[in-house]
Amino acid sequence: MAFSDNFPWYFGTDGNPLPNTMDFVSVVLHEIGHGLGFAGTMQGNVPGTGQARWGWGSSIPAAYDRFAVNNIDQSLINTSIFANPSASLFSQLTGGNVYFKGDNAVFANGGSNVKLYAPATWSNGSSYAHLDYNTYKLPNPNALMVYAMSYDSSVHDPGPVTLGILKDIGWSIDSGCTYSLGSSSNSFDLNGGTGSVSVTASTGCGWTAVSNDAGWLHVTSGTPGTGNGTVGYSVDQYTGTGTRTGTITIAGQTFTVTQTGCSYTLTPGSQSLDYNGGTLTFDVTTSGVCPWSASGYPAWVSIDLNGSGPGSKTVTYTVAANGAVASRSGNINIADKSFMITQTGVLPTADFSGSPRSGVAAPFQVTFTDLSSNASGWAWSFGDTKTSTSQNPVHTYKTAGTYDVQLTASNINGSSPVTKNGYIVADACGNSPVRRAGGGPDRTLIQAAYDDIGIGGTDTISVQAVDLTQPLLFDDDKTVTLIGGNTCAYDAIIPETMIIGSLTIVHGTVTIDGIVAVK
């Protein structure tokens, strides 16, 4: 190596060059690094402009070349991908994505490939043979092997990445220095703060401290150092959620900082409402600096002006009425929490009509029509102990009286009833309940009408609705037909006339037509 004597060198070895001087020790160490193999055989614009080659025109790479890859880990000396020489190889060397991938260098670089200097314009002596300037420039501890150094600065340690590269290309590394930290980690809450960690090092052994998360974790004092020392650091306030972790590399050791961010509690955590909706509240509890806003909620939910942070607040929200049968649900998102709202669907509204609503019970038949809304089930009570689950039932009243009718309409959300008092009026007949076709007076009892028929006679007896209070005995040789279901005027037949009681036939023939016998 040869160095110009016509240059403002600083020849001291303390690493503190005078103003406007260049630290001679730093430059010598840099060039020794190249001499030890921190360089390859890559050449740009050779054999022609826009082409590159390696091996100085041969097919033999340097050790350094064997670890050169691009950003997708393709080896630059793999001729099945990049011919030697070729324009494609030149494009790689000037594309800003050239890396050194050796086990020791990658380990020293925190597990990532080491980025090399690959500017868009090829620079002989600088391109490829240095660490990337923007990644490793001072105060990075690996700044010795970047392509340029400014006046009034110094680097007297190769740094762990350069030592890793030298080890990968074949050198044994023994610095003779040992380092340890007083602790390996520290934790902070969202407010951040400051801290320090002690460094124990062999006498005369230099070291540096660099934050790997400089956006929020900062080294504030103690670096560079020699021998034992203390590194100060600061942690910014963190208003995000969850936990973030950062590291500081101190004398090649990793110091980890963990910081918890904002946490949020919702009280209550959910709410259920019926179909009517309403206005309710829930509390957001968090630190006074923690930001949040209500978001993601459905259109049927509205939030008042307190629906945002920072800090703890009570959120008032209004849920609109649900006019559909189906239930619905939605969330109000607060930071990393969700407040769930569930709302049932609308209940049915029961209503009905009946026709006719009045008549004579001989018997009296009514057609009921469901007028309910949002119903899928029906339970009728007709007031005479009879019931039905049909939507539009037809019911027969067989006894005179005034009846209350109730309909209970239901759906998946519940039920609602409606009762119409005195809704059906069934009148008794004004005429006698029995008439003989062959003549004779109207009779109150079937037995009396039967007895009026002569022995061996034949006749027809028409009846209305009759409740026998005494047994009916047919014991003569007669042929009689009982026709039931007659109206009060005997001008029409309504089905299902009932005879309640005992009917005993000893002689003769009795035919029953249109009468239901009830035991």
Q: State whether 157 and 34 are in the same domain.
A: yes
- For residue 3, being part of any structural domain is answered with no
Number of domains in the chain: 5
Is the pLDDT assigned to residue 500 strictly greater than 80?
A: no
Give the containing element (helix H, strand E) for 104: helix 103-108
This prediction's pTM:
0.51
Task: Strands of 11-151 (E only): list them.
Answer: 22-23, 43-44, 52-53, 68-70, 98-100, 114-115
Residue 224 DSSP label: S
* Tokens (6 digits) for 504: 């005993």
Report whether 33 contacts 145 (CB < 8 A): yes
Q: State whether 17 and 164 are in the same domain.
A: yes
Q: State whether 153 and 15 are in the same domain.
A: yes
Q: Kindly indicate the confidence band of residue 432, based on its pLDDT and cuts at 50, 70 and 90.
A: low
pLDDT of 510: 87
Q: State whether 115 and 185 are in the same domain.
A: no
Q: State whether 256 and 377 are in the same domain.
A: no
Choose the final residue of a domain: 216, 237, 260. 260
The number of angstroms, rounded, from the C-alpha of 467 to the middle of its chain's C-alpha atoms is: 70
- For residue 173, being part of any structural domain is answered with no
How far is 461 from 446, CA to CA, in rounded Å?
8
Q: State whether 379 and 300 are in the same domain.
A: no
Report whether 290 contacts 267 (CB < 8 A): no
- For residue 274, being part of any structural domain is answered with yes
Q: State whether 356 and 272 are in the same domain.
A: no
Residue 451 DSSP label: H
How big is the CA angle at 175 (ends 174 and 176), to the nearest 5 degrees?
95
- For residue 4, being part of any structural domain is answered with no
- For residue 1, being part of any structural domain is answered with no
Which positions ≥6 away from 79 have C-beta within 8 Å? none
Report whether 76 contacts 89 (CB < 8 A): yes
Q: Kindly indicate the confidence band of residue 20, based on its pLDDT and cuts at 50, 70 and 90.
A: very high
Is the pLDDT assigned to residue 114 strictly greater than 80?
A: yes
Torsion of Cα atoms, 437 then 443 then 447 then 448, to 10°: -100
Task: Strands of 428-468 (E only): list them.
Answer: 434-436, 458-463, 466-467
Choose the final residue of a domain: 149, 168, 187. 168
- Residue 47: asked if its preceding bond is cis (omega within 30°), the reply is yes
Burial (0-12, 13-18, 19+ Cβ within 10 Å), 442: middle
- For residue 402, being part of any structural domain is answered with yes
CATH code for the domain of 386: 2.60.40.10
Range of the domain at 457: 434-518
What number of CA atoms fall less than 13 Å from residue 39's CA on the CB side?
15
Choose the final residue of a domain: 319, 343, 367. 343
pLDDT in tens, 278-304: 999 999 999 999 999 999 999 999 998
pLDDT of 498: 65
Q: What is the mean pLDDT of the chain?
A: 90
- For residue 174, being part of any structural domain is answered with no
Q: State whether 226 and 161 are in the same domain.
A: no
Q: What is the tally of helices (H) and strands (E) in the chain? A: 6, 42
Q: State whether 37 and 142 are in the same domain.
A: yes
Torsion of Cα atoms, 387 then 390 then 392 then 396, to 10°: -40
- Residue 417: asked if its preceding bond is cis (omega within 30°), the reply is no
Least confident of 194-203, 213-222, 444-453: 444-453
Q: Smallest Cα–Cα separation from 419: which of 406, 408, 437? A: 406
Q: Residue length, the chain?
A: 519
pLDDT in tens, 385-400: 999 999 999 998 877 7
- For residue 381, being part of any structural domain is answered with yes
Q: State whether 414 and 290 are in the same domain.
A: no
Report whether 350 contacts 408 (CB < 8 A): yes
Is the pLDDT assigned to residue 9 strictly greater than 70?
A: yes
Q: State whether 398 and 449 are in the same domain.
A: no
Least confident of 189-193, 294-298, 431-435: 431-435
Q: State whether 59 and 85 are in the same domain.
A: yes
pLDDT of 363: 66
